Structure 1
Amino acid sequence: MTPHPTASAEATVEHRRRGFTPTDLALVASFAALISALTYAGAIPVGGAGVPITLQTLGVALAACLLGPVRGTAAVLLYLLLGVIGLPVFAEHSSGPGVFAQPSAGYLISFPFAALLAGFLVAYVAKAARTRALVVFLCAITASILIVHPFGIAGLMINLDLTFAEALKIDALYWAGDLLKTTIVALVASEVHRAFPRLLDRR
């Protein structure tokens, strides 16, 4: 008996919702590579805490705002996995699980959670306005304020044995760069969503 065309189409849609398509996998891999490349490009030493300014967060936010919460988070997790298994994709060409005992550990741990939140906000909360740079900026900076910086401060406190005030003072050094990177993400992502309005429909 030949299945009804409508039922077949619904089954295909449901299958795609449950798993990644080859296109999804390619996007996840591509953005994991992008984050790696942006980090590998170099780091600017700031202060004496050993946490340089890099373009990591730009890549993380781009992945989230362009791919959505599921694929964006997957790209970030893949990036972290590549670093943990030994590829020199972390700041200053470092790698291995030992990075999670360093001052930057909190920032690294925050990345998938920040991608999940920023991706969710762009994909669902700002669904009707994601072609506006200001809206994307607010989505991305919200994830940074609520997740990246608090996690980063906690990592500094734990790994450097600092007080909250001391860690907060170090974290404040990264705000100017964060605002600049988030602005770039907002401008790029809003233009991409204008050109490809269905990019986030799946996720």
Structure 2
Amino acid sequence: MDSPEKSVSAPAVQPAPRRPRAGWTSRDLSLVAVFAALMAASAVVPPIPAGNILGVPVTIQTTVVTLTGLVLGARRAGAAVGLYVLVGLAGLPIFSAFRGGLGVLAGGSAGYILSFPLAAAVIGFLAHLILRRGLRHRGLWLFAATFAGLLTTHALGICGMMVNGQLALPAALAADLPFIPGDILKNLLAVLVAASIHRAFPDVLVRRVR
């Protein structure tokens, strides 16, 4: 007598976890637009002459570049500051002293201006890592991250002065040096503002799982 066949139930197939969408949300696009506008608005603050031979001034725009990276992260910060630079090069007078157009690429500030999107992206990348890992004393870590952006901005700024001003490296370094103390203080200000924003809006950069 044959034994009855035992029914074997097939294992339940678990649905594959959904990957987060690669595209940007309307909030992402809004933040990019807001910070690009903030960059443009910073041109209202008058530049301070730095006394270097190429006439490169001290501006508040580097503070906004740093703040954008700390708040938005690499992709959105790079997009926001990149949009600002593109609009300025297209002719809108949104660079320091209300300059605009491709003519700025022939001046002493060209390297600094072109460095802005990259510096914002570098700072944003590091800020995202710091906040995602929940490091203690994150304010100090964020301040340390701003030095990567400072290095990026000053390296390209020096290159721009060497190309457009026909300066040797020592002369370009000497022309750039007076900007560093002020930029460190501006980075500190940007960190204080960014820390307040992250406390008020903890999901703005690293989105928590709900």
1:116 aligned partner, one-letter code: A
Residue 130 of structure 2 contacts residue 138 of structure 2 at CA under 8 Å; is this kept in 1?
no
What is the aligned partner in structure 1 of residue 141 from structure 2?
135
1:137 aligned partner, one-letter code: F
User: Hey, what's the Cα distance between the residues in 2 that align with 1:83 and 1:107?
Assistant: 14
TM-score, normalization by structure 1:
0.88
Give the alignment partner of residue 25 of structure 2, picking from 21, 28, 37: 21
TM-score, normalization by structure 2:
0.85
User: Hey, what's the Cα distance between the residues in 1 that align with 2:141 and 2:194?
Assistant: 10
Give the alignment partner of residue 125 of structure 2, picking from 89, 110, 120: 120
Report Cα offsets for 1:86-118 as digits up to 9, x if no partner: 110011111001111110001011111111110
Residue 131 of structure 1 contacts residue 191 of structure 1 at CA under 8 Å; is this kept in 2?
no
Cα 1:138–1:33 change in 2 (3 A) is same
Give the alignment partner of residue 153 of structure 2, picking from 133, 148, 167: 148
Q: 1 or 2, which has the higher helix percentage?
A: 1
User: Hey, what's the Cα distance between the residues in 1 that align with 2:68 and 2:121?
Assistant: 10
CA RMSD of aligned residues (A): 2.0
User: Hey, what's the Cα distance between the residues in 1 that align with 2:29 and 2:175?
Assistant: 37
User: Hey, what's the Cα distance between the residues in 1 that align with 2:89 and 2:44?
Assistant: 15
Which entry has the higher C-alpha Rg, 1 or 2? 2
Residue 68 of structure 1 contacts residue 120 of structure 1 at CA under 8 Å; is this kept in 2?
yes
User: Hey, what's the Cα distance between the residues in 2 that align with 1:58 and 1:83?
Assistant: 18
Percent of counterpart pairs with the same letter?
42
Q: Does residue 1:10 correspond to 2:18, yes or no?
A: yes
Report Cα offsets for 1:99-145 as digits up to 9, x if no partner: 11110001011111111110000001453138732211110122212
Give the alignment partner of residue 90 of structure 2, picking from 73, 85, 94: 85
In structure 1, stretches of 5+ residues that fail to align are: 1-5
Residue 49 of structure 2 contacts residue 56 of structure 2 at CA under 8 Å; is this kept in 1?
yes
1:52 is paired with a residue whose SS is coil
User: Hey, what's the Cα distance between the residues in 2 that align with 1:39 and 1:130?
Assistant: 35
Cα 1:130–1:196 change in 2 (3 A) is farther
Q: Does residue 1:36 correspond to 2:40, yes or no?
A: yes
For these two proteins, the number of residue pairs brought into alignment is 192
Residue 133 of structure 1 contacts residue 189 of structure 1 at CA under 8 Å; is this kept in 2?
no
1:132 aligned partner, one-letter code: R
2:68 aligned partner, one-letter code: A
In structure 2, stretches of 5+ residues that fail to align are: 1-13
Residue 131 of structure 2 contacts residue 206 of structure 2 at CA under 8 Å; is this kept in 1?
no
User: Hey, what's the Cα distance between the residues in 2 that align with 1:104 and 1:51?
Assistant: 6
Residue 131 of structure 1 contacts residue 194 of structure 1 at CA under 8 Å; is this kept in 2?
no
Deviates more, 1:32-41 or 1:60-69: 32-41
Cα 1:125–1:132 change in 2 (3 A) is closer
